């Protein structure tokens, strides 16, 4: 039996980051992984999807070259080559994690890990023991009873990034980050895309104005959008797929080559020994305290298997906090109200904090500022005038309650708002912080100026 200080079950952005921080803190550490180092994020999620989206963006530049005074004749895309590039990027990142494991002297145990009582992990019949065991097994595409995935005609995100052939028509069910990112990608390379969303707006967790802007942009690019609609059944017996969609006006039959189910995720908590150990679970999530300890001493859980936001950067932050607490360091609990969310369709979406509706519902008297990229010199020069920055401040104390962006490159810009809110920055401080010109980031200052009736360029 091999003995460790810490064993991490799963090597996604939660697991491998946790293992590295544990090793840095002097713990003898091992990671158990049943498939590829880096988990879904590096192999089938965050990273390879961004590679696909970059190819789509470059192709769109080529198609609109004349807008920049350039001539490109008969620009074409090679679907197989686009997919191959994406897989190559993913493989490179996974190899990078292998290097980090070796560099930090972390043992990688290949196989399916199962928790056992007495602080043990069974990996395909071999037992390992540790003082602390951290579950970071992540999640997978959630299946609805009305939308069973066969991996061929009804697919999840994993199949969507490695199709053998580009579909002519695709139905995307669900308009969260996964849904709208794939809708943008396939639409940009010529697939006819329809989004079906159960709620009354797309990207439903975002501020209402952001949702409306994305819908306008998507419709302008040719994506059909059906909100307040539900796929009640699919027929895959024919050549393609027939989806029965319940709308406010009645039933409608949509035909396509492929249906992409993007209706959320399901935590990977089955058959990993939670019941054998007695670890408490509620509605698909492992229950933990502020520092990710379960109800059983010596067992912890982080990332998508816990109740926090299912985001890679959240899993990483949770893992670091978890092992620093184990090491006896003084750490603060994670502020889940200051977690940025990013969606990488075009235009991009980024947000942090309260939406306008949430701020009003919580009783705040608010100041709202909004600056459109159509008034931005950098956006005009770049040919990326879609979107805006919207800021929300508490009128009484100037607290930065929320920031919502839609436009080119905003997923890189949102960090200013996250840091500002972490440092308890006020609206006046944001306004008086000189922003470089010409940049897209000026829109944050200009939106803040608009909130305080001092806007210059609008």
Between CA 193 and CA 183 the distance in angstroms is 6
CA 312 to chain centre: 7
Cα torsion at 448, 449, 453, 454 (round to 10°)? 170
- Annotation marks residue 457 as catalytic: no
Task: From the candidates 64, 313, 404, 437, give the one annotated as an active-site residue.
Answer: 437
Between CA 22 and CA 6 the distance in angstroms is 7
Between CA 255 and CA 162 the distance in angstroms is 22
- Side-chain-facing half-sphere of 194: CA atoms under 13 Å: 21
Cβ density class 407-436: b for 16+ within 10 Å, e for less = bbbbbebbebbbebbeeebbbeebbeeebe
Concatenating the DSSP letter of every residue in 76-115 gives: ---HHHHHHHHHHHHHHHHHHHHHHHHHTTPEEEES-EEE
Between CA 281 and CA 55 the distance in angstroms is 41
Beta strands in 257-360 (DSSP E): 258-261, 265-267, 281-282, 285-286, 299-301, 341-343, 348-353
**Residue 139 phi, psi dihedral angles, 5° rounding:** -150, 175
Catalytic residues: 437
């Amino acid at each position: 039996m091999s003995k460790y200080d810490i064993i991490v079950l799963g090597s996604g952005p939660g697991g491998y980051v946790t293992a590295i921080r544990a090793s840095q803190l002097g713990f003898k550490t091992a990671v158990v992984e049943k498939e590829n180092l880096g988990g879904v994020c590096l192999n089938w999620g965050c990273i390879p999807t961004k590679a696909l989206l970059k190819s789509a963006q470059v192709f769109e530049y080529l198609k609109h070259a004349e807008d920049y005074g350039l001539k490109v004749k008969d620009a074409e895309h090679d679907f197989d080559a686009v997919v191959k590039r994406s897989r190559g990027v993913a493989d490179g990142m996974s190899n990078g994690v292998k290097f980090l494991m070796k560099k930090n002297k972390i043992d990688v145990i290949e196989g399916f890990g199962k928790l056992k009582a007495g602080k043990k992990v069974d990996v395909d019949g071999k037992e390992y023991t540790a003082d602390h065991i951290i579950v970071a097994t992540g999640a997978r595409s959630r299946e609805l009873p009305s939308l069973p995935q066969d991996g061929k005609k009804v697919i999840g995100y994993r199949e969507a990034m490695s199709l053998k052939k580009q579909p002519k028509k695709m139905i995307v069910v669900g308009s969260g980050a996964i849904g709208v990112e794939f809708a943008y990608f396939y639409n940009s390379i010529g697939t006819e895309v329809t989004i079906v969303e159960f709620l009354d707006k797309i990207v439903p967790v975002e501020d209402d104005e952001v949702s409306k802007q994305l819908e306008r942009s998507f419709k302008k690019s040719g994506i059909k959008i059906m909100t307040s609609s539900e796929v009640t059944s699919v027929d895959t017996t024919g050549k393609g797929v027939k989806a029965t969609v319940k709308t406010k006006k009645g039933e409608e039959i949509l035909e396509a080559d492929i249906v992409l189910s993007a209706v959320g995720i399901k935590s990977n908590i089955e058959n990993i020994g939670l019941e054998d150990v007695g670890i408490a679970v509620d509605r698909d999530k492992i229950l933990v305290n502020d520092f990710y300890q379960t109800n059983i001493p010596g067992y912890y859980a982080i990332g998508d298997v816990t109740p926090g936001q299912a985001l890679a950067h959240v899993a990483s932050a949770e893992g670091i906090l978890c092992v620093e607490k184990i090491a006896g360091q003084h750490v603060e609990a994670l502020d889940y109200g200051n977690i940025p969310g990013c969606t990488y369709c075009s235009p991009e979406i980024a947000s942090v904090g309260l939406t306008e509706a949430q701020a009003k519902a919580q009783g705040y008297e608010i100041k709202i500022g909004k600056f459109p990229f159509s008034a931005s010199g950098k956006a005009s020069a770049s040919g990326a005038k879609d979107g805006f920055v919207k800021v929300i401040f508490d009128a009484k104390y100037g607290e930065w309650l929320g920031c919502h962006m839609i436009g080119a490159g905003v997923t890189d810009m949102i960090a200013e708002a996250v840091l500002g809110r972490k440092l308890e920055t006020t609206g006046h401080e944001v306004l008086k912080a000189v922003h470089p010109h010409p940049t897209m980031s000026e829109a944050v200052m200009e939106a803040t100026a608009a909130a305080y009736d001092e806007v210059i360029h609008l």
